[in-house]
Structure 1
Amino acid sequence: MRKLTIIIPTLNEAFHIEEVIKSASFADEILIIDSFSTDKTVEIAQKYKVKILKREFDGFSSQKNYAIERAAHDWIFILDADERIPQPLREEILNVLENGASNIVAYDVLCSHIFMNRRMEHSTFKNEWKMRLFDRKFCRHGNKLVHEDMIINGQKSRLKNHFDHYTYRSFDRFIAKKNHYARLQAEQYYKKNKKPTFFHFMVKPAFRFFNQYIFRGGFLDGFPGFASAYINSYGVMTRYIKLWLLHHKMN
């Protein structure tokens, strides 16, 4: 059977680190790539059989590629600290490693979001596939700072079972994550000399809210559906404000 390394990127994930390590315990290797956490993330992780790398964060893609190159095994599963692998997915991964088709080099996995203690079933949360299981000989992340893409040299398939993403820990933490993503996206646009306009400040945030909450059925997820749509629209607006600040040397 082909062996598996699960890579867990971390930055101040003391709240999640123990549970995510337990979730990944079936792997042949657990590799943590830490961006110099200032909480007890590393201290807690060291209690378990894991390999820990430390590297200054300069983008999600480069951070993950760094860890991928240093993994002990070719087959990789990327698992964020706020994610978990349920038993059905664990069994399916092991089956793929043992019996999977030799021509498939990567697998998309369905992400099931749990937000404000509710499993989200509509809007942008519905049918969100992410490429997480792959053979590193044929796959690499691109150079995006955020929402990283994957360059694949071969065929891919889909797994039947989902992984869980616990998107909400506290309101302040959730907003902080949105601000972090907004900054990275603004820097990405700035490097491409993209300049914000009235359309980016007013139309795009409004469209994000109505598209997610009304047109894609976010209202069916109750108040968490409303809160998610509202905060995501805020994230879009913040991205372009930060881009404007970069262009005016005010960031």
Structure 2
Amino acid sequence: MEKPTISIAVIAKNEADRIGRLLKSASFADEVVVVDSGSTDGTQVLCERLGARVIFNEWPGYAEQKNFAMEQTTSEWVLNLDADEEIAGTLAVEIMDAVLHTAPEVSGFSMPRLSRYLGRWIKYGGWYPDYKVRLVRRGSGSWSGDALHEKLLIDGKVERLSQPILHHVYRGIADQIKTINRFSDIYAAQKPPAGSGFVLVGVGHALGKFLECYVWKLGVLDGIPGLIIAMNSAWYVFLKHAKAWETGLREKDDV
């Protein structure tokens, strides 16, 4: 049986400090395509040195950029990865076996994602198994979504793999806070202006989020990182409500 070919598609900007881990884990693939949207830290040179084909494309949004990256690949199967992810050898073997023996009606595969944060693999708090559809048969899927969430939609049957993508999420607490601030800005910009009651609702939602992450989903078992994750998750929920209220306040001031 002829071995199906596999491409890895990655989008990146200023990822020189961590994309090397991903590229070194990609040796099982037939090609790696990195679509860069204007790095200034040497990401392009590093990727080329590690064997990737680098293509520049102005930033059009997450879903659009990921679709562009898939279009640049040439293999029968495309594995979509982020610059902060890594493929362990066990997952590489499972992927190669899956595409070799899969039925014609199967168009994609999902796999769990295991994240590492603050020196620990996070297994609770809702972070694991965090299944993601990432492996797609050429021409059988596309990315869709808004500025906050994008998803790979598959035209056909999707099966699950058991081995996880390794996700080196956030460079530290400051990086997580930066992401929370950016995402809450996007949320507030997409929502209609809110009144003061909306902030009070946000307090309740934030408390519920903390209890969900730390108690119900057992984030307490992840030690101090689990506590920090639960607190920051609750802070994000409150912050996006508060910023929606702030938008309404600014509009009143402008009248």
Aligned to 2:6: 4
Q: Alpha-carbon deviations, 1:57-80, whole Å to 9, x = none?
A: 342211101111222224111111
Q: Is this contact kept in 2: 1:204–1:236, CA < 8 A?
A: yes
- Between the aligned partners of 2:178 and 2:102, the Cα distance in structure 1 is 40
Aligned pairs for 1:39-188 within 5 A: 39-187=41-189
| Structure 1 counterpart SS, 2:112 | strand
The letter of the residue matching 1:38 is T
Give the 3 Å change call, closer, same or farther, for CA 186–76 of structure 1 in structure 2: farther
Aligned pairs for 1:232-251 within 5 A: 232-246=233-247, 248=250
From the CA coordinates, give the structure whose radius of gyration is larger.
2
Q: Bigger CA drift: 16-25 or 138-147?
A: 138-147
* Residue 144 of structure 1, CA deviation: 2.0
* Residue 223 of structure 1, CA deviation: 0.4
Q: Is this contact kept in 2: 1:61–1:146, CA < 8 A?
A: no
Q: What is the aligned-residue identity percentage?
A: 27
- Between the aligned partners of 1:123 and 1:139, the Cα distance in structure 2 is 30
The letter of the residue matching 1:55 is N
- Between the aligned partners of 1:84 and 1:18, the Cα distance in structure 2 is 9
Alpha carbon RMSD of aligned pairs, Å? 2.1
Give the 3 Å change call, closer, same or farther, for CA 183–103 of structure 1 in structure 2: same
Q: Is this contact kept in 2: 1:59–1:146, CA < 8 A?
A: no
Is residue 34 of structure 1 aligned with residue 36 of structure 2?
yes
What are the ranges of 5 or more consecutive residues in structure 2 without an aligned counterpart?
none
Q: Bigger CA drift: 171-180 or 113-122?
A: 171-180
- Between the aligned partners of 1:245 and 1:24, the Cα distance in structure 2 is 45
Using structure 2 for the length normalisation, give the TM-score: 0.88
Matched residues, number: 247
- Between the aligned partners of 2:118 and 2:211, the Cα distance in structure 1 is 20
The letter of the residue matching 2:241 is Y
Q: Alpha-carbon deviations, 1:199-227, whole Å to 9, x = none?
A: 55322222111110111110111100000
Give the 3 Å change call, closer, same or farther, for CA 147–228 of structure 1 in structure 2: same
What are the ranges of 5 or more consecutive residues in structure 1 without an aligned counterpart?
none
Q: Alpha-carbon deviations, 1:94-150, whole Å to 9, x = none?
A: 111222222110111000111111111112113210111112412111132222123
Using structure 1 for the length normalisation, give the TM-score: 0.90
- Between the aligned partners of 1:11 and 1:240, the Cα distance in structure 2 is 29
Give the 3 Å change call, closer, same or farther, for CA 74–203 of structure 1 in structure 2: farther
The letter of the residue matching 1:161 is Q
| Structure 2 counterpart SS, 1:108 | strand
* Residue 194 of structure 1, CA deviation: 7.3
Q: Bigger CA drift: 89-98 or 141-150?
A: 141-150
Give the 3 Å change call, closer, same or farther, for CA 238–59 of structure 1 in structure 2: farther
- Between the aligned partners of 2:141 and 2:193, the Cα distance in structure 1 is 29
- Between the aligned partners of 2:40 and 2:4, the Cα distance in structure 1 is 36
- Between the aligned partners of 2:60 and 2:241, the Cα distance in structure 1 is 20
Q: Alpha-carbon deviations, 1:169-218, whole Å to 9, x = none?
A: 2222222222233333444x33xx47472355322222111110111110
| Structure 2 counterpart SS, 1:124 | coil
* Residue 54 of structure 1, CA deviation: 2.1
